[in-house]
Structure 1
Amino acid sequence: MLTLTSPIETYAHRIPASLKLAAFVALTIALFATDRPWLLAPPVAALILSCGPAFALQTLKSLRPLVPLIVILALWHLWLRDPAGITVITRMIIGVAAANFVTMTSKLTELTRCIQSLARPLSPIIAPKTLALAIGLTIRFIPTMLLRAGQIAESWRARSAKRAGWRIFLPSTLAALDDATHTAEALRARGGLG
């Protein structure tokens, strides 16, 4: 499996994940507390650009999967003639860019440890270790699933002149379920969560 951590080393990699997560939570609260979320775009963009042009380009590429959702939201709000769509889309882009910044500049083990310590108050409901593992696996599987969907789309293009579009949804879903099954079997073989 791949990880979302950026191979481009920046100063932000040395900042503890707990501080970055706290800043992300504060940003998310601010995004929904204001009716002008675009005012938060310049500081987030400046933060990303402060890590260098290569890192900024990598961050921009990581936002590419949002494009279809942005188009759907924009068309929906245009059809409704609802100007609030701009606010929704702006919040989504800023929030995802900030979340990507946190995951790209933090090691997965550090994020998992941080989530585990934050989840301690939930221990009567769910084991913090289980929750941290679930979130960690979800983060690790995102790039793997994107890579697998890309491979399936390439296979489609090699066999057909038509665009793949929705046709790769089922094979991608089955591949994700297959990966999840193999991961569950591997965890079970190693004694679960220990």
Structure 2
Amino acid sequence: MISLYLPGQSWLHRCSVRLKLVVLAIASVLILPVSDLVLLGAALAVVLSLYVSLGSGGLRQLKALKPLTSLLVIIFFLHGITGNWHEGFVAVLRLVVMVLLANLVSVTTRMDDMMEAVLPLFSPLRLFGMSQKKPALAVTLVLRFAPVLLSVYASLREAFQARSGRRTSWRLMAPFLLQSLIMSENVAEALSARGGAAGLGGNAKL
């Protein structure tokens, strides 16, 4: 099972999961309307310094941007074609900052800790006799594995480029969907072995 978690005892690892998720949400809302390149550049510098604070392992996590390279280039040149290079820079910087922030939460938070933080959001479901763990697990998995899926796509694209010399192709969608389904089945088997959502906790390291 692929795991994004980066073991460590840094201050970011010790921070409350709820605090990290709240800060991520607030930062995303604040970044969206920003169009000043200086402010976005400063935000990127702050995020990069957070990765540096994790040590060499943290710097290696910057590879999370690799799968987005083609998309970022396309976004930039689409703005350039319309004659608005400034907006292209803004869009790329904004996306890079938000992806790196989300990835930072993933690499410094264990799966079971993240689920525990999300769980209270679904406590009203108990009034209707419904399980709060199942939707909490679904949200946690989305938060956890989005960067993993980006990494899967990156590896497929690199293999395709090595064979064909081209950077990407729509033909990559079929193996990507297949890999995603295989990963989903692996996750389902792991959860089933733990007793499903009710058994996830304690030492879970998905």
What TM-score do the two structures reach when normalised by structure 2? 0.74
Residue 131 of structure 1 aligns with which residue?
Answer: 135
Deviation at 1:16, TM superposition (A): 1.5
Corresponding position: 1:116 with 2:99: no
In structure 1, how many angstroms separate the alpha carbons of the residues matched to 2:157 and 2:76?
28
How many positions carry a matched residue from both structures? Answer: 191
Deviation at 1:74, TM superposition (A): 0.5
SS of structure 2 residue aligned to 1:106:
coil
Residue 55 of structure 1 aligns with which residue?
Answer: 57
2:148 equivalent among 143, 168, 179: 143
CA contact (8 A) 2:64 2:151 kept: no
Q: Give the % identical residues.
A: 27
Tell me whether 86-95 or 167-176 shows the greater mean CA deviation.
167-176
Residue 176 of structure 1 aligns with which residue?
Answer: 180
Residue 31 of structure 1 aligns with which residue?
Answer: 31
Closer/same/farther in 2, CA of residues 122 and 149 from structure 1, 3 Å limit: farther
Residue 66 of structure 1 aligns with which residue?
Answer: 68
1:46 equivalent among 46, 49, 68: 49
Deviation at 1:28, TM superposition (A): 1.2
CA contact (8 A) 2:13 2:108 kept: yes
Tell me whether 162-171 or 10-19 shows the greater mean CA deviation.
162-171
Query: In the alignment, residue 146 of structure 1 is paired with which amino acid?
Result: S
CA contact (8 A) 2:77 2:88 kept: no
Deviation at 1:24, TM superposition (A): 1.2
Root mean square deviation, CA, Å: 3.3
In structure 1, how many angstroms separate the alpha carbons of the residues matched to 2:147 and 2:155?
12
Unaligned runs of 5+ in 1: none
Query: In the alignment, residue 59 of structure 2 is paired with which amino acid?
Result: L
Deviation at 1:137, TM superposition (A): 2.7
What TM-score do the two structures reach when normalised by structure 1? 0.78
SS of structure 1 residue aligned to 2:7:
coil
SS of structure 1 residue aligned to 2:32:
helix
Query: In the alignment, residue 90 of structure 2 is paired with which amino acid?
Result: T
CA contact (8 A) 1:17 1:114 kept: yes
Residue 4 of structure 2 aligns with which residue?
Answer: 4
Residue 21 of structure 1 aligns with which residue?
Answer: 21
SS of structure 2 residue aligned to 1:102:
helix
